[in-house]
């Protein structure tokens, strides 16, 4: 059954400059980002964005610097107001919110994890973790048990009375995640949350986020410029370029069916065996007889795992399992085809040569 839509963005535009409404008319008539800046001296931040974010899923918004991804996430809690368009949370139009409703949205329904940690240096780890409840009027004794629980859950048990400057970058970001969890907000906004971390720590934080999400099923909006991170985390992937959505959907589908040369460039150097999953290429019909299976794999296994099990034998066929039930069949010849770059990517490489 399809999950409920938690956040809905419709026909969203953002133009920066002294007369955005005037500039908007030029954009609606087809003027692009470069032309708007050159001719109208306005900056096109977002253009006709339409995205649904489903309850309990991780929506990853990715793109290069200047693509509009951070501008977009700041619209969700109205840190930035759009030039035109609609933003709905739980079916409610947040553009119609009063100041009091907006405060409740930011304090109780949405938490935010920042790239630069945003911890208060004069407060302890415990106090920082409980900050969302502190500003709602709770005392330390009110939130201490929750703060300790979530600090322990993110691996910081025993650090409650330290200060941010006594922690490493990875530990500080764990405090940021614990703070978001203590707030009890059903929506987490994460703006380049792991980008300032070293690669190994970053990978650990991604694993931690996925582990927590498996238990809590928050609605998470995650901003990144890193494709590997996006493919690892996303249930729904939105790729932006120059303020516009180039493609969105299941990241596995985007890898197999890129619809734009910009995306082909993004995915051309990716390790397809590591990121593609069995569920994306398995056959749901025409299954082989039981005696012809070389073994079982799960639908969430990546292709690299299957290659190791098969020892490279392209004649084999595997049963695909989900919770003890067969849901499909994987032929190694289909796996081999999935590892070949798309035609668009091959043409690009040929032209470059």
Is the Cβ–Cβ distance between 318 and 293 less than 8 Å?
Answer: yes
- The two three-digit tokens of residue 28, written as one number: 């609606």
- With residues binned 3-state (H G I as helix, E B as strand, rest as coil), the percentages for the chain, rounded to 5, are 45, 25, 35
Q: Which pLDDT score, from 0 to 100, does residue 195 have?
A: 86
pLDDT at 115 over 90: no
| Mean pLDDT for the stretch of residues 57-81 | 94
- The two three-digit tokens of residue 257, written as one number: 């069916």
- The two three-digit tokens of residue 222, written as one number: 């995650």
pLDDT tens sequence across 199-240: 888 898 899 999 999 999 999 999 999 988 999 999 999 999
pLDDT at 6 over 50: yes
Chain centroid, CA 307 distance in Å: 28
Q: Which residue has the tokens 């790729």?
A: 239
Highest mean pLDDT among 40-49, 128-137, 147-156, 269-278: 40-49
Question: Is the dihedral angle over the CA atoms 125, 131, 191, 52 positive or is it negative?
Answer: positive
Q: Which pLDDT score, from 0 to 100, does residue 340 have?
A: 83
Domain parsing of the chain, residue ranges: 53-267, 272-339
Q: Which pLDDT score, from 0 to 100, does residue 205 have?
A: 87
Distances, alpha carbon 255 to alpha carbons 88, 308, 320, in Å: 29, 22, 21
Please, which pLDDT band fits residue 345 given cuts at 50, 70 and 90? Answer: very low
Q: Per CATH, which fold does 272-339 belong to?
A: CBS domain Like (3.90.1280)
| Mean pLDDT for the stretch of residues 36-51 | 96
pLDDT tens sequence across 72-93: 999 999 999 999 999 999 999 9
Burial of 205 (0-12, 13-18, 19+ CB in 10 A): buried
pLDDT tens sequence across 88-112: 999 999 999 999 999 999 989 999 8
Q: Which pLDDT score, from 0 to 100, does residue 141 have?
A: 85
Phi, psi of 68 (to 5 degrees): 105, 5
Q: Which pLDDT score, from 0 to 100, does residue 352 have?
A: 45
CA nearest neighbour of 149 among 201, 212, 194, 56: 212
Pairing of strands 84-89, 92-93: antiparallel
Is the Cβ–Cβ distance between 15 and 24 less than 8 Å?
Answer: yes
Task: Select 53-267's CATH number: 3.10.450.240, 3.40.50.300, 2.40.128.20, 3.40.50.970.
Answer: 3.40.50.300
Encode burial over 75-92: b for 16+ CB neighbours within 10 A, e otherwise. Answer: bbbeebebbbbebbbbee
CA nearest neighbour of 125 among 88, 97, 152: 152
Encode burial over 149-176: b for 16+ CB neighbours within 10 A, e otherwise. Answer: ebbebbebeebbeebbeebeebbbbbbb
Long-range contact set of residues 304-313: C-beta below 8 Å, sequence gap at least 24: 304/271, 304/273, 304/274, 306/278, 306/330, 306/332, 306/335, 307/273, 307/335
Give the chain's mean pLDDT: 90
Compute the distance between CA of residue 246 and CA of residue 235 in angstroms, rounded to an integer: 17
């Amino acid at each position: 059954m399809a999950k409920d839509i938690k956040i809905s963005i419709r026909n969203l535009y953002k133009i920066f400059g002294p007369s955005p409404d005037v500039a908007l008319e030029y954009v609606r008539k087809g003027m692009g980002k470069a032309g708007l800046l050159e001719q109208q001296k306005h900056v096109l931040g977002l253009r006709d964005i339409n995205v649904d974010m489903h309850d309990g899923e991780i929506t990853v918004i990715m793109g290069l610097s200047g693509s509009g991804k951070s501008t977009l996430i700041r619209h969700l809690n109205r840190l930035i107001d759009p030039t035109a368009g609609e933003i709905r949370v739980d079916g409610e139009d947040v553009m119609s919110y009063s100041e009091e409703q907006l405060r409740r949205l930011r304090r109780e329904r949405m938490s935010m994890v920042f790239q630069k940690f945003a911890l208060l240096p004069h407060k302890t780890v415990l106090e920082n973790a409980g900050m969302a409840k502190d500003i709602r009027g709770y005392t330390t004794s009110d939130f201490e048990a929750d703060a300790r629980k979530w600090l322990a859950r993110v691996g910081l048990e025993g650090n409650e009375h330290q200060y941010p400057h006594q922690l490493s970058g990875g530990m500080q970001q764990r405090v940021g995640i614990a703070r978001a969890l203590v707030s009890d907000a059903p929506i987490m906004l994460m703006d380049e949350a792991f980008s300032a971390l070293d690669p190994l720590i970053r990978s650990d934080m991604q694993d931690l986020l996925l582990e927590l999400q498996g238990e809590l099923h928050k609605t998470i909006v995650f901003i990144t410029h890193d494709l590997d991170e996006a493919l690892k985390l996303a249930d729904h992937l939105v790729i932006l370029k120059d303020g516009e959505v180039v493609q969105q959907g299941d990241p596995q589908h985007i890898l197999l069916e890129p619809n734009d040369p910009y995306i082909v460039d993004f995915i051309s150097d990716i390790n397809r065996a590591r990121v593609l999953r069995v569920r994306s290429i398995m056959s749901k019909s025409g299954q082989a007889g039981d005696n012809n299976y070389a073994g079982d794999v799960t639908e969430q296994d990546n292709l690299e795992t299957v290659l190791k099990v098969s020892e490279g034998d392209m004649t084999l066929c595997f049963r695909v399992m989900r919770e003890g039930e067969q849901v499909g069949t994987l032929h190694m010849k289909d796996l081999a085809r999935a590892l070949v770059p798309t035609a668009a990517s091959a043409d690009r490489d040929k032209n470059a040569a």
